[in-house]
A and B are shown apart, each in its own frame.
Chain A
Amino acid sequence: MSVLVYTESENGKFKKSAFEVASYAKSVADQLGTSAVAISFSADENNSLGAYGISKVLSVSNDQLNSFNAEAYAKAIAEAVEREGADVVVFSSSSNSKYTAPLLAAKLKAGYVPNVVESPSSTAPFTVKRTAFSNKGFAHTEISTAKKIVGVSNNSFGIIENSADITVEDFAPALSDGDFAVQSVEVDKVAGKVSIADAEIVVSGGRGLKGPENWGMVEELAEVLGAATACSKPVSDMGWRPHSEHVGQTGKPVASNLYIAIGISGAIQHLAGVSASKTKVVINNDPEAPFFKAADYGIVGDAFEVVPQLIEKLREFKAQNA
C-alpha cells in the first residue's frame, strides 16, 4: 500500500504544483499510515521532492516521454501503481493532469474526483471535499472503488515542508507504439511567460480598457507582480487578446492567490471561472459593477489613472521588500 503522486515538470524543472501535490500525497499517506511515492518524467532534481515528504521517486527518463503524451503517461502511471501497490493516485489540476487522470481511471477502474480542496475528511469511507457548480458550491464526495484518484485544485492545499529520506529509482515502463497513436505535430507556447494555470497572481483586463492598444499597462502590471495575463470573454471574442487568455466558465479556470480584474464588470459566467481565486481586487469606474460584490478589495476609478499609479507603487514596494 502507498500513495502515488504524479509530479509534473517542464524542461526538467518541477512545476510549483508538483510540490503542492507532493505535500497533499504526504498528508494522505500519513492518514493511511503509509508512504508517499512520486513518479516524474525527465525531471532533473528528483531529490528536491524529499522536502515535501516524498520517500521514493520513480524517475522515468525515456526520450519518447520527454514531451507529454496522455495515453503513454497514463500507461506508465498505471504500471507504477501496480509496482508500488498504490491505492491512491494524486494529480494536480493542470491541463495535462486533467487529460491523463480519466485515462488512468479507465485503466484502473478507479473512481476519480477532481478539483479537491482539502485532504480527505475520512479515509474509510474515503471522502474528499471538492468544488462543484462552477465554484458556486462544494460537494463531499465518497470514492468507493479499490483504487482512488484525486485531482487537487491548484493553490488550495498549499506547499507544506515535511522533510523525508528520499530514494530515487530509475523506472522504465513498458510502452508500445500504440501508446503514441495521438502524435504531437507542433507546440505553440509563449516562452518565458507564466501560464494562467501555474500563476500565483493573475492580472485580467476587460472591455473597460477600450481596445487592444491599451494592454501595455496590463502587461506591465503583470510583469511587476510576476503574474500571468488574462482577459474576459468579450475581449477574446473581439480578438483584442488571444483565446488562450480568456478566463471564465467557458474559458480557462483561475485559482490564483490574487486575481486583479481591470475594467471587467463581472458577468456571472466570468465570476464562475475566477471565484476560486483567494483574493480578488477589482478596479472599475462603475461603482455598480457586479464584480464589486464578489471582490475582496476594490478601487472605484478610471483604470487609465489607477493602473499606472499601482504599477509605480508596486515598483517601490518591490524595491523596499526585495
Chain B
Amino acid sequence: MKILVCISNVPDTTSKINFTEGDTQFDTNGVQFVINPNDEFGLTRAMWFKEKQGATVHIATVGDASVEPTMRKALAIGADEGIRINAVPTDGFFVAEQLAHVIKEGAYDLIIAGRESIDYNGGMVPGILAGLLGMNFVNTCIGLEVEGDTATALREIDGGKEKVTAQLPLVIGGQKGLVEESDLKIPNMRGIMMARKKALNVVEPIGATTATADKKFEKPEPKGAVKLTESVDELVELLHTEAKVI
C-alpha cells in the first residue's frame, strides 16, 4: 500500500495572531510553525500501516522553502520521502489542485489529509482533492483499517459516529481518534539524523486557478471584563435580561 499524507505547515496553537501590511497578511513574526494537528494524527496512523502492513508513506506539502523544517519533522517521525510543491498556498482549491496533480503522478492507494488546518480552518482540501481525483472520500475520520482493497472507517457525525466501508483508492479527512494523543511520537535523535538523508523533492506548481482570496483580516473586538456574580440568582437574572440567552 502506498500512502500519501498531506501536511499543512501551521502556526503553533499557542501563537499570538496578528496581521500586517494594512491587515492584509498574517504576521509570521515570532510565530513557531508546526505540523497541523489534524494531519499529525493521520501521519501517525500512516506509521501504524507502515509498521504493521508494510506500507510506504510519502508526505506532500504546498509551500515555499520555509515549510521544510516542518516536513523534516514529519520525515523524522518516520515518513519515507517528501514532496514539496513550491508555491505559496493561497486558497484551498489551489492547494487541492496542486496535490491532485502530484497524486495522479504517484499512483497512491490512500491519501490522508487533516479534516481542517488550524490556521485558515477551510476544511476543504481533502474533499476537493477527492472530487478532482474521482476517488472515494471519508471525512471527519476517527478510525481506519485497510484489508486488501477495502477500507473500513469510522467517522464522527453530529451526535454520534458512523461506520462506513469503501474501496481504495481513498481520501481521508482525518482528526483525533485516528490515533490517540498519547500515540503521537516525538522524533528521536536517530529519526532526526535519518530524516536529513531522506529525499525531499521539490516540484514546481501547475497553473491552477485561485477561487478565493483573503482581502483583509481583522481581530475580534476586545472583550469586556467578565462580570462576576455572587449568587446563582443574579447569574440567571443576567442571562435572562442582559444576555437574553435563556
CA distance A314 to B240 in the complex (A): 11
Complex contact A185–B226 (CB within 8 A): no
User: Is A322 close to B, CB under 8 A?
Assistant: no
Interface membership of A187, Cβ < 8 A: yes
**Which residues of A sit under 8 angstroms from B130, Cβ to Cβ?**
102-103, 106
* Residue from A144, A194, A233, A313 within 8 A of B233 (CB atoms): A313
Q: Does A107 touch B at the CB level, under 8 Å?
A: yes
Tell me if B220 and A105 are in contact (CB < 8 A): no
Q: Mark B152-171, 1 if CB is under 8 A from A, else 0.
A: 10001111111111110000
| Cβ contact within 8 Å between B137 and A105 | no
Known A-B contacts: A132-B120, A189-B157. Give 12 more (CB < 8 A): A99-B139, A112-B122, A133-B120, A141-B212, A142-B215, A198-B159, A201-B245, A250-B41, A250-B176, A297-B228, A309-B232, A317-B236
Q: Which residues of A contact B120 (CB under 8 A)?
A: 132-133, 139
User: Do residues A296 and B243 form an inter-chain contact, with CB atoms below 8 A?
Assistant: yes
Alpha-carbon gap, A275 to B220, bound state (A) = 10
- Fill in one digit per residue for B203-239: 1 if any A CB lies within 8 Å of its CB, else 0: 0000001111111111110011011111111011011
Q: Are A187 and B243 in contact (CB under 8 A)?
A: no
Is B188 at the interface (CB under 8 A from chain A)?
Answer: no
Contact B156 A137 (CB under 8 A): no
Q: Give the residues in chain A near B41, CB-CB below 8 Å.
A: 250
Q: CA of A140 to CA of B215 in the docked complex: distance in angstroms? A: 6
- Inside 8 A of A21's CB, which chain B residues have their CB? none
Judge if B123 is at the interface, Cβ distance under 8 Å: yes
Q: Does A170 contact B (CB under 8 A)?
A: no
- Nearest chain B CB to A83 CB, angstrom units: 20
A99 to B157, CA, bound (A): 10
- A188 and B161 contacting across the interface, CB-CB below 8 Å: yes
Asked if A145 and B246 sit within 8 Å, CB to CB, the answer is no
Q: Determine chain A's interface SS by DSSP, over half rule.
A: mixed
How many whole Å from A121's CB to the nearest CB in chain B? 10
| In the complex, A156 has a CB within 8 A of chain B | no
B111 near A: Cβ within 8 Å?
A: no
> Is there contact, CB below 8 Å, between B118 and A249?
yes
Alpha-carbon separation in the docked complex, A71 to B171 (Å): 13
The chain B residues found within 8 Å of chain A, CB to CB, are: 11, 13-14, 17, 19, 26, 37-38, 41, 91-93, 96, 118-132, 136-140, 142, 152, 156-167, 173, 175-177, 180-182, 209-220, 223-224, 226-233, 235-236, 238-240, 243, 245-246
Q: Which residues of A contact B93 (CB under 8 A)?
A: 105, 111-112
Which of A44-52, A56-64, A161-169, A278-286 is near enough to bind chain B?
Answer: A278-286
**A264 within 8 Å of B by Cβ?**
no
Q: Which of A87-103 contact B (CB under 8 A)?
A: 94-96, 98-99, 101-103
Chain B contact residues: helix, strand, loop or mixed: mixed
| Cβ–Cβ < 8 Å partners of A244 in chain B | 156, 159-161
Asked if B127 and A106 make an inter-chain contact with CB atoms under 8 angstroms apart, the answer reads yes
Q: Are A187 and B162 in contact (CB under 8 A)?
A: yes
CA distance A137 to B19 in the complex (A): 9
Given contacts A106-B131, A297-B227, A317-B236, contact A98 B123 (CB under 8 A): yes
Of A187, A279, A295, the contact of B157 (CB 8 Å cutoff): A187
Return chain A residues, CB-CB under 8 Å to B118: 133-134, 249, 272
Q: Is the CB of A95 within 8 A of B236?
A: no
**A190 neighbours in B (Cβ, 8 Å):** 159-160
CB–CB A195/B159 < 8 A: yes
A184 B235 Cβ-Cβ under 8 A: no
Assuming A111-B93, A257-B245, is B37 touching A250 (CB within 8 A)?
yes
With a CB–CB cut-off of 8 A, which chain B residues contact A275? 220
Evaluate contact between A296 and B121: CB separation under 8 angstroms. Answer: no
**Contact (A141, B163) CB under 8 Å given A132-B119, A279-B243, A297-B239:** no
Q: How far is the CB of B20 from chain A (nearest CB, A)?
A: 12
6 residue pairs, one from A and one from B, having the closest CB atoms: A106-B131, A102-B127, A111-B211, A195-B159, A189-B160, A258-B245
Which residue from chain B places its CB closest to the CB of A295 in the assembled complex?
Answer: B226
Shortest Cβ distance from residue A154 to the other chain B in the assembled complex, whole angstroms: 10
Shortest distance from the beta carbon of A127 to any chain B beta carbon, whole Å = 7
Contact status A102-B131, CB under 8 Å? yes
Cα(A96)–Cα(B26), bound, Å: 30
A310 touches B232 (CB 8 A): yes
- Of the listed residues B17, B41, B212, B216, the one surrounded by the most CB atoms of chain A closer than 10 A to its CB is B212
In the complex, are the beta carbons of A258 and B246 less than 8 A apart? yes
Bound complex: CA of A193 vs CA of B217, how far in Å?
37
What residues of chain B lie closer than 8 Å to A294, measured between beta carbons? Answer: 223
Give min CB distance, A175 to chain B, whole Å. Answer: 15
Check A32 for interface membership: any CB of B closer than 8 A.
no
- Residue A110 at the B interface, CB < 8 A? yes
Kindly state the separation between the CA atoms of A314 and B139 in the bound complex, as whole angstroms: 39
- Cβ of A251 under 8 Å from chain B: yes
Q: Which of A112, A142, A233 touches B124 (beta carbons < 8 Å)?
A: A112
Is B229 within 8 A of A278, CB to CB?
A: no
Q: Does A225 contact B (CB under 8 A)?
A: yes
A95 to B: closest C-beta gap in Å: 5
Q: Which residues of chain A (173-226) have a CB below 8 Å from chain B?
A: 181-190, 193-198, 200-201, 225
Q: With A106-B128, A297-B226, A297-B235 as known contacts, state yes or no: A317 contacts B240, CB within 8 Å.
A: yes
